[in-house]
Amino acid sequence: MRLSTKGRYGVTAMMDLAIHDNAGPVTLADISQCQGISLSYLEQLFSKLRKHKLVDGVRGPGGGYRLARPADEISIAEIISAVDEKVDVTRCNHEGNCQDGVRCLTHELWEELSDRLFNFLSGITLAQFANRPGIHELAIQRDNINGRFILARRQQEVLQQQRRVS
């Protein structure tokens, strides 16, 4: 179990998707502007999220990313381990090289702590954050104020249709 800013970026970006889940795909450019993360860096993160089947990419105009599964089936632990890429296999690989028993001992204790942490984060889903009362409305409202995102896009569509008619 590891937790760095990389994991935080992954989780916050996924929260963003979850909040806008029912309003079409979200572009990385939007997330980039909102969260202050470089676009290409996000592309790398989402490449991993895609490979781990956590998001679906939708190409072409109007495309972007959406959650691959319902928000209540995606845990924080999944996101972090997808992005942070577990490393660091314990040096004592249960062979002859672990000559000192006490190392193994504290290793075992650490493994247990790590497991507890993972289980804790497995029990927390995106939905617990996205579906809280008021959050969704607040998001739409704020998007609207800033004149971007999905609502802004819808407005553009309306404008284009009006032009076509006239």
Which listed residue (119, 140, 150, 160) binds DNA by CB under 7 A? 160
d(CA 129, CA 38): 24
* Cα–Cα distance measured from residue 80 to residue 62, given in angstroms and rounded to the nearest whole number: 28
Beta bridge partners of 26: 65
Candidate residues 49, 55, 71, 139; the one interacting with a copy of itself per rule CB under 8 A: 139
In this complex, which beta carbon is closest to a copy of itself, that of residue 48 or of residue 128? Answer: 128
Angle at CA of residue 12, ends 7 and 16, nearest 5°:
145
Say whether residue 86 binds a copy of itself (CB under 8 A).
no
Among 60, 88, 96, 165, binds a copy of itself (CB under 8 A): 88
Kindly tell me which of 98 and 128 has the beta carbon lying closer to DNA: 98
Residue 112's identity, in one-letter code, is: E
List phi, psi (to 5°) of 124: -105, 125
User: Could you say whether residue 4 binds a copy of itself (CB under 8 A)?
Assistant: yes
Between 98 and 131, CB nearer to DNA: 98
**Binding segment toward a copy of itself, per CB under 8 A, in 39-47, 49-57, 61-69, 146-154:** 146-154
Listed in sequence order, the residues at least 6 apart from 20 whose beta carbon sits closer than 8 Å to its beta carbon are: 26, 139, 143, 149, 150
The yes or no reply on residue 40 touching DNA (CB under 7 A) is yes
Query: Is 145 an interacting residue with respect to a copy of itself (CB under 8 A)?
Result: yes
Q: State the Cα–Cα distance between residues 144 and 9, nearest whole angstrom.
A: 24
Task: Check binding of 5 to DNA (CB under 7 A).
Answer: yes
